[in-house]
Structure 1
Amino acid sequence: MMITTTTALTKALLSLCLLLHVFSVEVEAIRPMTTERMPSSPPKNKYKTNEELRDAFDAIAKNCVETSQGKRHGEVIPIGSSVNGFEIFAMRVRNLYDDHRDKSNNGERTTSENEEDDDVLNAQTTPSFGFIGNMHGDEPVGREITLRLAEWACGEDDNHRENEESSSFFGNDIEKASKVKTKATLYFIPTLNPDGFAKRRRENANNIDLNRDFPFIEFAKPEPRRVPHHVKMGAPHVQNRRVNDLYDNTLRQLQPETRSIIEFSKRVNLTGALNYHEGALVANYPWDGNLDGSTKYSRAPDDKIFKRAASLYAQSHGEMKESKEFVGGVTNGAQWYPLWGGMQDWHYVKTQTLDITIEVNDRKWPLEDERLGEIIRAHCRASIDTAHDVMFVSARGFVFDKSSNEALEKCEVRVENLDFDRQLRNDGQTNKPPLPVFTNKRGYFVKPVFIAGETSGGTTNTFEIMVTCPDASQTHRQKITDVDVSNGVDLVVRILTSNSKKTVDVKQMAALRASSSSSSSPSSSSFHGGARSQRGGATRISPKSKKSKYILFCVTLTIIVILVRRQRRRRAKLNAVRKLETNGQTFLNSPVPKASSLIS
């Protein structure tokens, strides 16, 4: 009985093993089919390596599309290298027609425009904006945000998109998004710290935090309140000195990644920039530091513009605005925690770039899932809206020489809202005037302005624009009253300089020749295109300005007075000598009295 039971149990186990074996064979036969389909649909939300990221941007630049607004041109520009030698690059996207390209030449560069990259970077005639990511190596989401934005900038127009996901990915206002794409020059710098990303750590390969490595501009880092022990014991104490200039290398050597973005920014002069970080969900604006190192609000001259741009970003993002930690999803840098050597303060002072630091997520290095895709899309939408307001709610235009019509470089342009700037605040202090901007090689400038109310409401404000050029005899002042600045103000300023070249424009020369050839008798006519006149068929330059005449008159009068006084002194000396000679001759000719007559 026992043997029979054992035999039956053994047969049952053998049958079960046989069934499991058959099932496993079927599973193995099916598994290769599943594996083959995986590469065709890889995970969409995946962090790319440094090499994959560069290949992706090269492909985007190569496939920029041509639209009704003109041919969109994408170009990858190397701007430096990391400690370990990895290339740091920027991708520039612009419309060729908007950059003085010839439409009849299919958007290609003409022979007169074969300029070096350095000249092109400093010769823009459109507003510009930068999107910068991965300054800290363990914060990679900015890499993916800049990549998606670059794909959008080089892709089809928003109003031509049929893909539902693509439509929801971009800004809510199609008109604003199209304006940013077609009327501006965009720069995408996906990674400033490729070495840190490779090792998944905050610092670069030299263990330096890049966002503490920029020269101190507005505030010197305060001395520690505690006196170090070695100083108490008599050791020499080096005072903390302030670095005021980019090229002042007497105190310390900047990291190669820091130098790369500094040199790039000095050439480009971005109108605005967004710098993506992780570890919180907030938009952070200058100042980052203050004089005493305390945690309190540190107000920049363009504080209203900064705060408005940061608030717009938080509002467009949605979730950021509902932050429980930060009111409205924004914060002043020093009020959150003070730091020195940050990029946004340096950008603001040295290149007049309105730089805002964006903390994109509370958790660093979020998982590669659908949540990552939502994070990227929300920040792309907010980035486009903010870029539009910073670039186009502005006063922009050109500054030319009034005589020669040549572009004036390095002219200081100040724009003040007379209704708000220089007004008393609640704390009794007067608002500082906004920082000026400077014209580039083509005389172009863009200065973001603060306006009251919503930009979509067509609010009117009164502005005063002051332009001062190095060689100009006076400051140009112009008031703009009751102008709708929701789309910005376009200006052309002409200034008479002291070293204006005495040349006539080609078109003006043609007009002068035509008028001189048509007239049979000598005549006098004026040409109102500049400060030139024609008389009797000959071209001559008009007299100098009134101030120059006044200075010349004063100098001439002073010389005349000096010569007259000198001549009077000479005559007085001559008369004195003649008088002495006459008196001496009279004394010699007079008779000598006797000695007895002199004795009493």
Structure 2
Amino acid sequence: MKATVFDIGKTEGGRSLWAIAISAYAPDRHVLLRPEVKYIGNMHGNEVVGLELLLSLIEYLLTSNDNQVVELINRSRIWIMPTMNPDGLELSRYGDCSTTNGRYTLNNIDLNRNFPDYFGTQLASPIRALETEAIMSWIGAVPFVLSANFHGGAFVINIPYDRYYIGKQSISSDDDVYQVLAKSYMTRIGEMSRFCDIKNDEVGTAVHGADWYEIIGSMQDYGYLNYGTIEMTMEISCCKYPTEDLLMPYWNVNRDAMIELLFQAQRGVKGLILNEYSQPIPFTQIMIDDRRPVINVTPLGEFWRILLPGVYTLKVFFRGYEVHRQPIVIQDVLIQLNLTIIIPQVAYVPYSFQPIRILSAFVTNSVQSLSLSYTLILLSLTLCTMK
């Protein structure tokens, strides 16, 4: 079992944003087809339960001999950033359940209102925080499959979208996945609602962010819409900064839920899209059915998609034009798709000198297809047991 510590960037106060990557092998680099997952805590500096949980999780992953933990770190690289806002943490107050002391950065920016909006809507602050820029660079460099951001001050699992988009749309194309993952987590930790003085219909549920209260510039929407990462915001403590005696009960209840959620990056479909020379094809994307957003294939030709059991259509796009589609069946196993796509010049050269077609995250009409008679698809399926 190994770990590598990364300095992701600096805060306004000059502090480092530390993240630790944990895996059984090569935690210092990306490994072909190994899923990347991340947990972030303390985005708001006065919400400390997530920070404490993630510190405990790091220790648990590095010291436990539990078979489930061993399997998890053998099959994935787990990134953990205990605090995204260490400057705010320094200003927070022990035992303060409800105020905003320490919530913001040193230049008074709410980090969960500071990420670029999909449609370019003006944010609450015209300044992009150093912390935000660091996270954007990080998630742009690592192909994260799954992410959770741990907050406090409420007891709900917040799923996309955090704002209303076209036609008051607050439900994403992956809502079926989000509902299962969020409800599974909440079921495991539901007993902690006894510490909540807050009484409303949302307590102990999964809720679409915009239907709870709308915000613009959330990290959750940014990661999902731009990279297809399954992102969730975990509001796991009604008290933002509880006293020390409550921290162990939170860990005891959340531990197994956190482990189970990390395993979800292993379900669905993953694979490679290559040409006949086993080389990745630039400007390639995949789409499952008409689910948006489309997923950009990595520079190595990789893709991942978390899916529930069912029958789907996998579509491959080159420069925004469909070049292949095929049915796939997701059962209780992981289907690894290794696609080698041969595209003769007659099929792709006409598009190589044109602007790349942008497939919107929200438009659901069909896109133009290339003739499949010019495309040779070599497909290998490898069935692997899914946790």
SS of the aligned residue for 1:274 comes to strand
Q: CA deviation at 1:498?
A: 4.3
1:198 paired residue among 71, 90, 107: 90
The reply on whether 1:154 has 2:2 as its aligned counterpart is: no
Larger radius of gyration: 1
CA contact (8 A) 2:159 2:207 kept: yes
| Secondary structure in structure 1 of the residue aligned to 2:14 | coil
Give the conservation status (yes or no) of the 8 Å contact 1:179–1:388: no
Structure 2 letter corresponding to 1:301: S
Q: State which of 61, 67, 89 in structure 1 corresponds to 2:18.
A: 89
C-alpha distance in structure 2 between counterparts of 1:325 and 1:546, whole Å: 54
Distance in 2 (CA, whole Å) between partners of 1:450 and 1:216 is 28
Shift of 1:464: 1.3
Larger strand fraction of residues: 2
Cα 1:277–1:327 change in 2 (3 A) is closer
Name which of 92, 96, 114 aligns with 1:213. 114
1:491 aligned to 2:337?
A: yes
Q: CA RMSD in A?
A: 2.9
2:313 to 437, 442, 464: 464
3-state SS of the aligned residue for 1:180?
helix
- In structure 2, do the counterparts of structure 1 residues 474 and 345 end up closer, same or farther at CA, with 3 Å as the change threshold? closer
- 1:480 maps to which of 318, 324, 328: 328
User: Residues 382 and 491 of structure 1: is their aligned pair in 2 closer, same or farther, counting only changes over 3 Å?
Assistant: same
Q: How does 1:514-593 map to 2 (within 5 A)?
A: 547=374
Q: Is the 8 A contact 1:401 1:497 kept in 2?
A: yes
Q: CA contact under 8 A between 1:282 and 1:320: conserved in structure 2?
A: no
What TM-score do the two structures reach when normalised by structure 1? 0.52
Q: Is 2:249 the counterpart of 1:374?
A: yes
Mapped to 1, the partners of 2:49 and 2:32 lie a distance apart of 30
Aligned equivalents of 2:53, 2:373: Cα separation in 1:
57
Aligned to 1:435: 293
Give the secondary-structure state (helix, strand or coil) at the position aligned to 1:341: coil
In 2, the alpha carbon distance for the partners of 1:320 and 1:282 equals 11
Tell me the TM-score normalised to structure 2 length. 0.79
Supply the distance in 1 between the matched residues of 2:322 and 2:166 (Cα, whole angstroms).
39
Do the aligned residues in 2 keep the contact of 1:125 with 1:442 (CA within 8 Å)? no
Q: In the TM superposition, what are the counterparts of 1:281-430 in structure 2 within 5 Å?
A: 281-291=155-165, 298-319=170-191, 325-326=201-202, 329-369=205-245, 371-389=246-264, 391-402=265-276, 404-416=277-289
Q: Which has the higher helix share?
A: 1
Could you tell me which residue of structure 1 aligns to residue 367 of structure 2? none
- 5+ residue gaps, structure 2, are 93-101, 347-371, 376-387
Q: 2:164 & 2:284 partners in 1: Cα distance?
A: 29
Q: Which residue number corresponds to residue 253 of structure 1?
A: 127
Aligned-pair CA distance for 1:79: 0.9
Counterpart in the other structure of 2:149: 275
Distance 1:312 1:269 in 2: 24
Equivalent residue number for residue 450 of structure 1: 308
Change (3 A) 1:396 1:292: closer
> SS of 2:244's equivalent?
coil
Following TM superposition, by how much is the alpha carbon of 1:291 offset from its aligned partner in structure 2, in angstroms? 4.4
**1:93-112 mapped onto 2 (5 Å cutoff):** 93-96=22-25
What is the rounded CA distance, in whole Å, between the counterparts of 1:320 and 1:398 in structure 2?
42
Q: CA deviation at 1:327?
A: 6.8
| Matched letter for residue 191 of structure 2 | E
C-alpha separation in 2, matches of 1:475 and 1:126 = 26
Alpha-carbon deviations, 1:341-384, whole Å to 9, x = none? Answer: 11100010112111100111111100011x21111232222121
Secondary structure, counterpart of 1:412 in structure 2:
strand
CA–CA separation in structure 2 for the residues paired with 1:478 and 1:84: 51
Identity %: 27
After superposition, residues 500-511 of structure 1 pair within 5 angstroms as: none
- Could you tell me how far 1:338 is from its partner in structure 2? 0.6
Q: Which has the higher contact order (CA 8 A, sep 6+)?
A: 2
What is the CA-CA distance between 1:470 and the residue it aligns to? 3.6
Q: 1:546 to 1:413 in 2, by over 3 A?
A: closer
